[in-house]
Structure 1
Amino acid sequence: MHMLSGEDGMNSKLHSARAQKTHCTCRIHIARPIKLRETHALTPSPTCAFFNPPTPSSVPSDSAPLKFGILGAARIAPPALITPAKSHPEVEVYAVAARDINRAKEFAEKYEIKKWYGGQSGYQDLLDDREIDVIYNPLPNGLHYEWTMKALAAGKHVLLEKPSADTAEETRRMVELANQKVLVLLEAFHYRFHPAIQRVKQIIDSGELGAIKEINAALCFPKGFITDDDIRMKYDLGGGALMDCGCYPLSCVRYLANSNPSAVVSASAVRFQKDARIDTGASADLLFPPPNPGGEPVKATIKCDFSVPNLLGFIPRWPDVAVRAVCEQGSVELFNFPMPVIYHTITVSPAGRKTRTEKAYKFPPSSGLKGEEWWTTYRYQLEAFVDQIRGRAPNSWMSSEDSIANMEWIEKIYEANGLGSRPQSSFQLP
């Protein structure tokens, strides 16, 4: 079999993989039989659970689980899907495909995945596997469109890593095909499904602090966190700070504002020295429609950075991972909105009243919503994704319209900062 040339995985501490170029011919392999899930009842703290999550003893074996196939032996796959799946009775991570058959084999054996595919046709072989119900696509951004379209054409539901594509038009076409095929397509903005960000939105929407006036969100990493040879620095693979991490704060301010921006007031970018088409940092000032008729527009600022300079030249800075909303009668801030299970704080500062701090690792019992304190954002996301496929109402959702709009505004910010939109993919389904 032959495998289409592509990129596997991402190469960073949280969300990365290294592209490999290996061409070979090989056959599907089946790993040793998977053992029954080992379970234990101990429940660690949410922080410990992120690194060593438990598999609860209450998880039964489902007679007909949804079988997931992974496109690429990506390093994001274990925290984003493989580990969350261990505590979901309706999910089986069934197969993985990689261009390098040895990497696919090692990955499958390490994570007790039943099948692996490799060779030049490896990705397509995975899509053609009739046992697979769902495809998880963590390939580099520039490959999202082609392989998601192929997965949908093969009749698979798709859990798609963010950003959904290189352009809004690509996202729109994927959504149209998913609708045509009556399949579920979800862009994996996992933070949206966690109780922490939903609690912040609840506070804003309740009117406790008055109408919203301003929102600021950032996702910035210290210098050295992303290396120059990372795929995030590859233009042809959809690289760039705004594409890879700026999509988070943009999505977040849109979510909390309950609307799309009305204008990009200003935008700037720090260009990569080795390729001026790539941004290593970006910021944008946006305007949103007034929350009330006749009111003032809501101001918003988003920031993202791959290389925040060290203090005194050698002391790494702590990542800037916060979102803050200023309202007429106070403010609310969530520290660590992307990964709240590790640690987070919700600081509510009502004008003229005492500031309070909240945490929200799980939904309150009165809500009737599922969750555990040790559930990661990815585990909450998987719960919602499976519910949607099964025809149950998820506790939250990232709509297709939301995904399209996020890409539209990424493009508008790129146009405003002078880098311009990413080129449209030339791929077409047969």
Structure 2
Amino acid sequence: MKRVQWGVISTADIAQTQVIPAILRSDYGELAAIASRGDKAKDIADRFSIPYYYDSYKKLLMNEEIEAVYIPLPNHLHKQWVIEAAMHGKHVLVEKPAALTAEETKEMVDCCRENNVKFMEAFMYQFHPQHTRVREIISSGEIGEIKFMRAGFSYFLNDRESNIRMNQEMGGGSIYDIGCYCIHAIRSITGSEPVRVEAFAELDPQTGIDRSAIVYMKLENGVNSVFDCSFDMSFRQEYEIVGTKGRITVPAAYRPDVAGNVGRIYIQSDQGNRSECVNGDQYKMQINRFSQAILQGNQPSYSAENTLQNMRVIDSCYQSIESRTVVTLVKK
């Protein structure tokens, strides 16, 4: 069976701990190359038995055997290297957030289309089947009509003096890093887009990045929603949907892999309380889905338009923080 030949641009921790192992576990992908700026790629290639390693990203892109690349570079470098990869004819899976602005994202997406390559943002959490099950429960009417959704993602960030998440020019900040998951989850689970956004942030006095944020969003379908994200709180990764007859709580929404890939869904309703467990290897499923799209000539299930809309909401969050006003989103 043909497998997609993958290259990894960067030796970032997320690549080493999650995505490289996922490519090795995948059914439709094969890890062929890795690149770094410097000599780190050789050590990673040796550890994972990767055939090719390079001391520059461009050298990897010049390898004609490579069909797709995974880009986990710092946020401010996404645009440059997505465009470079597209111009070399490589399909692109880029870490979230796709870029620093929706405008940058559109440039990347347009370039991928012009060069006839596929583009997908690496929101791996969405491929875990627990979220499909949540949508099924909502559709069944068990919790009634949705009225409110809350999402939260936080962890205490250590090594702040050297961590790129604290660097504003490199795309640091809690909304970029983890709030983007909450935005995506609210949009995905409710099936509705935010029309008004009001964001409040605790800015770091030294760097200016948002260490914490709380964001209220009014959705097009009338549902109220709120999310919080923070580098100053203990690890949480949850969402809750409240309806007229009950509620659903998902306590391992974004990183069920840290709990053995098990997603737990708690349902409290007029019919009583119950729970369900759903298993899934979300990183592997992400690689499988993107690889299948390449092999079958289909568009990825997570579209570029969806990525653009998520980035527009991120833009509105930062605009609200800066202006200290409610931001109205114009439908595109």
- Normalising by the smaller structure, the TM-score range is over 0.9
1:110 aligns with 2:110: no
- Whether the 8 Å contact between 1:69 and 1:96 is mirrored in structure 2 is yes
Among 264, 269, 277, which residue is 1:350 paired with? 269
- Whether the 8 Å contact between 1:196 and 1:340 is mirrored in structure 2 is no
Among 205, 223, 231, which residue is 1:273 paired with? 205
- Whether the 8 Å contact between 1:195 and 1:360 is mirrored in structure 2 is yes
Q: Which residue of 1 aligns with 2:329?
A: none
Q: Which has the larger radius of gyration?
A: 1
Among 383, 391, 399, which residue is 2:303 paired with? 399
> 3-state SS of the aligned residue for 2:231?
strand
Amino acid at match of 1:83: P
1:382 aligns with 2:287: yes
Among 229, 233, 237, which residue is 2:162 paired with? 229
Q: Which residue of 2 aligns with 1:73?
A: 11
Q: What CA distance in whole angstroms lies between the structure 1 residues aligned with 2:263 and 2:19?
A: 22
> 3-state SS of the aligned residue for 2:89?
coil
Amino acid at match of 2:292: D
1:143 aligns with 2:77: yes
Q: Which residue of 1 aligns with 2:134?
A: 200
Amino acid at match of 1:336: A
Displacement, 1:65? 2.3
Which runs of structure 2 are paired with 1:361-376 in the superposition (5 Å)?
Answer: 361=279, 375-376=280-281
1:247 aligns with 2:166: no
Displacement, 1:393? 6.8
Q: Which residue of 1 aligns with 2:241?
A: 325
> 3-state SS of the aligned residue for 1:326?
strand
Runs of 4+ in 1 over 6 A off after TM superposition: none
Q: What CA distance in whole angstroms lies between the structure 2 residues aligned with 1:184 and 1:400?
A: 9
Question: 1:142-163: CA deviations, max 9, x gaps?
Answer: 0000000000111000111000
- Whether the 8 Å contact between 2:154 and 2:229 is mirrored in structure 1 is yes
Q: Which residue of 1 aligns with 2:194?
A: 261
Question: 1:247-296: CA deviations, max 9, x gaps?
Answer: 000110010110210111x21111113212x1111110000022xxxxxx
Q: Which residue of 1 aligns with 2:330?
A: none
Which runs of structure 2 are paired with 1:181-220 in the superposition (5 Å)?
Answer: 181-220=115-154
Unaligned runs of 5+ in 2: 325-332
Amino acid at match of 2:180: C
Question: 1:70-124: CA deviations, max 9, x gaps?
Answer: 11111111343221222324311111111112x1111111111111111xxx111
- Whether the 8 Å contact between 2:214 and 2:226 is mirrored in structure 1 is yes
Displacement, 1:179? 1.9
- Whether the 8 Å contact between 2:26 and 2:285 is mirrored in structure 1 is no
- Whether the 8 Å contact between 1:79 and 1:378 is mirrored in structure 2 is no
Q: What CA distance in whole angstroms lies between the structure 1 residues aligned with 2:17 and 2:43?
A: 17
- Whether the 8 Å contact between 2:154 and 2:230 is mirrored in structure 1 is yes
- Whether the 8 Å contact between 2:6 and 2:32 is mirrored in structure 1 is yes
Q: What CA distance in whole angstroms lies between the structure 1 residues aligned with 2:87 and 2:148?
A: 42
Displacement, 1:382? 1.1
Number of residue equivalences: 321
Displacement, 1:408? 0.5
Normalised to the residue count of structure 1, the TM-score between the two structures is 0.72
Q: What CA distance in whole angstroms lies between the structure 1 residues aligned with 2:284 and 2:17?
A: 9
* RMSD of aligned residue pairs (Cα, Å): 1.8
Q: Which residue of 2 aligns with 1:98?
A: 36
> 3-state SS of the aligned residue for 1:331?
strand
Amino acid at match of 1:306: F
Unaligned runs of 5+ in 1: 1-61, 291-296, 309-316, 362-374, 421-430
Q: Which residue of 1 aligns with 2:254?
A: 338
Displacement, 1:226? 5.8
Q: What CA distance in whole angstroms lies between the structure 2 residues aligned with 1:154 and 1:214?
A: 45
State, as a whole percentage, how many aligned pairs show the same letter. Answer: 31
Question: 1:136-194: CA deviations, max 9, x gaps?
Answer: 10000000000000001110001110000001011111111222222111101001111
Amino acid at match of 1:272: D
Amino acid at match of 1:269: A
- Whether the 8 Å contact between 1:348 and 1:355 is mirrored in structure 2 is yes
Question: 1:39-65: CA deviations, max 9, x gaps?
Answer: xxxxxxxxxxxxxxxxxxxxxxx4x42
Higher strand share: 2
Q: Which residue of 2 aligns with 1:180?
A: 114
Q: Which residue of 2 aligns with 1:284?
A: 215
> 3-state SS of the aligned residue for 1:273?
coil
Higher helix share: 2
Displacement, 1:392? 6.9
Question: 1:359-387: CA deviations, max 9, x gaps?
Answer: 111xxxxxxxxxxxxx4211111111111
Normalised to the residue count of structure 2, the TM-score between the two structures is 0.92
Q: Which residue of 2 aligns with 1:128?
A: 62
